[in-house]
Amino acid sequence: MADIYSIDGKKTGTVKLPKQFKESVREDIIKRAVIAIQGNERQPYGADPRSGFKTSAEYRGRRRGYGAWINRAMHRTTRIRIGAGYLTGRARIVPNAVKGRKAHPPKAEKEWSQKINEKERKLAIRSAISASAVKELVLRRGHMVEAIPQVPLILEDNFQKLNKTKEIADALKKLGLEKELERCAEKKVRAGKGTMRGRKYKTKTGPLVVVSETDVKAIANIPGVTCVRVDALNASLLAPGTHAGRLTVWTKSAIDSLEKNNLYM
């Protein structure tokens, strides 16, 4: 049994957790499912197949023919032909040359997508749901849950009717999530070249709010907090980065829908 709380942080009743919460935690299966999702979302990229080859350079292999490199104290490699002015004899194409090709560039034709069995996918979701109810795993992910009355946190359905970001943030703070929201609001500059590639800042992943009907759009304005319908759950939402135990907030109707519709079984 688990307690139900109002948006004011007061206990209003209890509910029996469905069998999805009783699945054994299989971190290997969760990792397998999350990696499959990440691979299917990845956009293929690669270098131009002709990169580094757009030159007149060639290898003169004849020992004493016209343009050969014999007795010139130069290694035998592809070079720009004689008569090219100041570029005569410049090495090209090979990876160790200036403006040469890359040795092993990323290939655009590489297949990143992965397949996963349907039973395996559902097992991963059930296992991640079960992990979200284990306080030790939630703490291991770095969530601030010391002031939360229980894990998982179950709210009344009127939480879904809130349509202002401030109302939702105030409700979460009354439930003991104030430090968690402060943790998610922190923004740090990423180390490395990612700062030049559109991902300058790193942010924390916060609570996942699971509702039964439509998404609560105002939640998107709170840093780190994600809202999802109970029938649209996946392993990546419940275990970001393959690490199980994400702090999850459920509405009562979402819990009822798990059992009534026998989801992910």
Going from N- to C-terminal start, the domains of the chain cover 2-42+112-260, 44-110
Q: What is the phi/psi pair of residue 166, to 5°?
A: -65, -40
pTM: 0.85
Number of Cβ within 10 Å of residue 240's Cβ equals 15
Mean pLDDT value of segment 82-98 = 86
**pLDDT of residue 83 exceeding 80:** no
Which residue in 113, 112, 111, 118 sits closest to 29, CA to CA? 118
* Residues 6 or more apart whose Cβ sits within 8 Å of residue 165: 218, 219, 221, 222
Fold of the domain built from segment(s) 2-42+112-260: Ribosomal Protein L4; Chain: A; (3.40.1370)
Mean residue pLDDT of the chain comes to: 92
Mapped onto helix, strand or coil, the DSSP state of residue 154 is strand
219-245: pLDDT as tens digits: 999 999 999 999 999 999 999 999 999
**pLDDT of residue 249 exceeding 90:** yes
Paired with 210 in beta bridges are 228, 250
> What token pair was written down for 238?
């419940």
Residue type, 95: P
- Rounded to an integer, what is the distance from CA 90 to the centroid of its chain? 45
Mapped onto helix, strand or coil, the DSSP state of residue 256 is helix
Residue 73's Cβ-count burial label (10 Å; 0-12, 13-18, 19+) is exposed
> What token pair was written down for 123?
């097992």
* Helix or strand run (H / E) with residue 233: none
Per the CB < 8 A criterion, the answer to whether 4 and 155 are in contact is yes
pLDDT of residue 192: 95
